[in-house]
Amino acid sequence: MSTASAPIEIGHVALTTRDLARMAAFYEGLLGLTRLSSEGEAVWLGAGDTPILQLRGDKAAKPNTGREAGLFHTAFLMPSRADLGAWLIHAAGNKVPLEGASDHLVSEAIYLSDPEGNGIEVYVDRPRLAWYDAAGKIKMATEGLDLNDLARSAKGPYAAAPSGLVIGHVHLQVGNVPEAEAFYHGQMGLEITAHYPGAAFYGSGGYHHHLASNIWSSRGAKARTPGLTGLAEVGLRADKGLLPARMTDPWGTEFSVTEK
């Protein structure tokens, strides 16, 4: 897995939801995640025995407007192109509405949203040697993706989350990019790996990005409004002593940190 050797990587994402049962059923059906535990209004879902997604039920939460700082999408990284191809056929067979598909040079990605509007990316990395330009810098782009070719890579049906499925990266909405860079690069210590207009990408250990920040729908956003659906927490896994146990970005997005 391309993220496995990085000093900092994504461990889990926690979402606040108004309809816990519906959201849990969606992620179980969409990605074949396993329900690992249910306690009160919290459900942990995982790939095999590894927890990667927590859903926190709150019927009083107000719907997120989509313009606040917080989640742009959670990106689920498939272990192989064949797994992504099988998942694509699974999604099409279940009439899951897709919102986009892109060749990013470093990866092949498919986009959609969950029932409460949280963005989702399902992707596979290209081999690491293919990520770099002639100057040795990571090169990303947004080009068309041949879905038929991707589907042909499948080697069988998608029955459940494959072993090794992880959250490869989390893309965040922020109020402005320079302030985000000061936090994610300056305080968290991630390398700035690429820029798009209105966005910056941050990685650890040579990975193309574990986190990203953009202002495409949130330019000028202030601190997050309490009590909304959507992102509750990003869980990071980091080498011992690298980060404090909790961090908060300038807009109130929470990060919990566990040692590897």
pTM: 0.97
- Helix (H), strand (E), coil (C) string for the chain: CCCCCCCEEEEEEEEEECCHHHHHHHHHHHHCCEEEEEECCEEEEEECCEEEEEEEECCCCECCCCCCCEEEEEEEECCCHHHHHHHHHHHHHCCCCCCEEEECCCEEEEEEECCCCCEEEEEEECCHHHHECCCCCECCCCEECCHHHHHHCCCCCCCCCCCCCEEEEEEEECCCHHHHHHHHHHHCCCEEEEEECCEEEEECCCCCCCEEEECCCCCCCCCCCCCECEEEEEEEEECCCCCCCEEECCCCCEEEEEEC
For 27-68, write each residue's pLDDT tens digit. Answer: 999 999 999 999 999 999 999 999 999 999 999 999 999 999
Predicted pLDDT at 217: 97
Is the predicted pLDDT of residue 151 greater than 60, yes or no? yes
Is the predicted pLDDT of residue 4 greater than 80, yes or no? no
Is the predicted pLDDT of residue 231 greater than 90, yes or no? yes
Mean local confidence (pLDDT), 128-135: 93
Is the predicted pLDDT of residue 198 greater than 90, yes or no? yes
Is the predicted pLDDT of residue 134 greater than 80, yes or no? yes
Q: Domain 8-259 belongs to what topology?
A: 2,3-Dihydroxybiphenyl 1,2-Dioxygenase; domain 1 (3.10.180)
Cα separation, 31 vs 47, in Å, equals: 9
Cα separation, 110 vs 122, in Å, equals: 5
Neighbours of 89 (CB within 10 A): 17
Mean local confidence (pLDDT), 91-119: 97
Is the predicted pLDDT of residue 5 greater than 90, yes or no? no
Predicted pLDDT at 35: 97
- Sequence-distant (≥ 6) Cβ neighbours of residue 226 within 8 angstroms: none
Predicted pLDDT at 55: 98
The whole-chain average pLDDT of the chain stands at: 96
Predicted pLDDT at 66: 95
Cα separation, 79 vs 32, in Å, equals: 14
The CA-atom distances, in angstroms, between 160 and each of 153, 163, 173 are 17, 9, 30
Provide the pLDDT confidence category of residue 218 given band limits of 50, 70 and 90.
very high
Provide the pLDDT confidence category of residue 131 given band limits of 50, 70 and 90.
very high
Mean local confidence (pLDDT), 75-88: 98
Reference 67, options 183, 227, 175; nearest CA is 175
Provide the pLDDT confidence category of residue 2 given band limits of 50, 70 and 90.
low
Cα separation, 74 vs 107, in Å, equals: 15
Predicted pLDDT at 1: 53
